[in-house]
Amino acid sequence: MKLQRKNGLRATAFGALAVTGALVLTACGSDDNTNGTGNGGKTSAASNIKCDGAKGKLLASGSSAQKNAMDLWVKNYMAACSGVEINYKSSSSGEGIVAFTQGTVGFAGSDSALKPDEVADSKKICKTGQGINLPMVGGPIAIGYNLPGVEGLTLDAATIAKIFNNKITKWNDPAIAELNKGKDLPDTAIQAFHRSEDSGTTQNLGKYLGATADADWPYEAEKKWPAPGGQAASGSSGVAAQVKQVEGAIGYFELSYATSQSIPTVDIATGAAAPVKATSENASKAIAAAKVKGTGKDLALELDYATKADGAYPIVLVTYEVVCDTGNKGDTLDTVKSFLTYTASDEGQKVLSDAGYAPIPAEINAKVRETVAGLS
């Protein structure tokens, strides 16, 4: 396990930006064509979804972080485009990238941009092109906890790092008490849960801790959990389930999992005027400052995990849909373009906020739409 002390190097050194097992979403397309015109390139009267020649079955897999968004998108898309089946296997970013570079899926979901070696592998599948990153889903990585009687818990980067690095082991530790004056913190053992499989969510948490608490988090930001101790669970859903069940537990997962299971989340002390809550709106403030660092058609983003802007929630991720810029499979190309055109549309992005996600900023999303339109 490789450790790397960072000497002042912060998030700018990193790339931008993860149900358990093999959950497969196979929603059924509507048999009622009254409000839709199938896949002949027409637009459903009930929505602005353009089916544009989409047909048959499209396989995709990857990030569990975007599962709840993907559920909504697939349901809406297949209701508009009868005869089309989208199967998204929610597993992990790592598994999604492997499936993509092996050519078994039309696109992959990943919470981290492709690495150089993964781009090289993609060229074997894309033939005339390479894999590119299309930012499609944003949102906060919530730090959820189970501590009955304690509401509005505040932590900062250093305490979070020490908790997950097994340096703080009791909930009434002086460092936690200092950040939560007036709260009756119990002498309960901390049960820290992390992802068992390679995860982009893990990597993004690592980027945040590396950028803001490098003295207490001396690890590279990788998809594999790096720190000793703690307990592992599979998928964001698995970590959330453990936090929900185990008193004294703490874990990290996308806000939608906390919302759906009524798990309280930590407010983050960033150095702003007040601790920042994990909300879609606050995550959007942080993501809006992202810069495109990819070249050509690649739209990988660079995020500022060390932001101290008021109301900007710093532990964020952006989930990418990974596709070939050119050289996509002919039998699925129309469906990939049609589906991703919808997910990047105003209509597709609008459903994200209600599900605990953050829409991609308009300026970046305009580039995504342009790139999707040019896929071949």
pLDDT of residue 35: 36
Residue pointed to by tokens 């993860």: 18
pLDDT at 37: 37
Q: What pLDDT, on the 0 to 100 scale, is given for residue 279?
A: 95
Let me know the angle formed at the C-alpha of 351 by 348 and 357, rounded to the nearest 5 degrees. Answer: 110
Q: Which residue has the tokens 């092996």?
A: 102
CA distances from 76 to 85, 110, 180, 257, 347 (A): 12, 22, 43, 21, 10
Question: How would you class 67 by CB atoms within 10 Å of its CB: exposed for 0-12, middle for 13-18, buried for 19 or more?
Answer: buried
Rounded (10°) CA dihedral 278, 282, 286, 287: 90
Taking the chain (376 residues) in runs of 10, the rounded mean pLDDT of each run is 37 32 31 38 60 94 92 96 95 94 97 94 95 96 97 98 98 98 97 94 96 97 95 95 98 93 97 97 92 94 95 96 96 97 95 86 94 97
In DSSP terms, 188 is beta-bridged to: none
pLDDT given at position 4: 39
Predicted structure pTM score:
0.78
In this prediction, residue 65 carries a pLDDT of 87
The pLDDT assigned to 32 comes to: 36
Closest to 240 (Cα-Cα) out of 213, 215, 260? 260
> Among the residues of 66-179, which ranges form H helices?
67-80, 93-101, 116-126, 157-164, 174-179
Rounded distance between C-alpha atoms, residue 65 and residue 222, angstroms: 16
Q: What was the pLDDT predicted at 7?
A: 37
Determine the pLDDT at residue 57: 96
Q: 138 — phi, psi (to 5°)?
A: -120, 165
pLDDT at 356: 81
Q: Looking at the DSSP assignment, which residues form a beta bridge with residue 154?
A: 267
Angle (nearest 5°) at CA 187 between 190 and 314 = 45
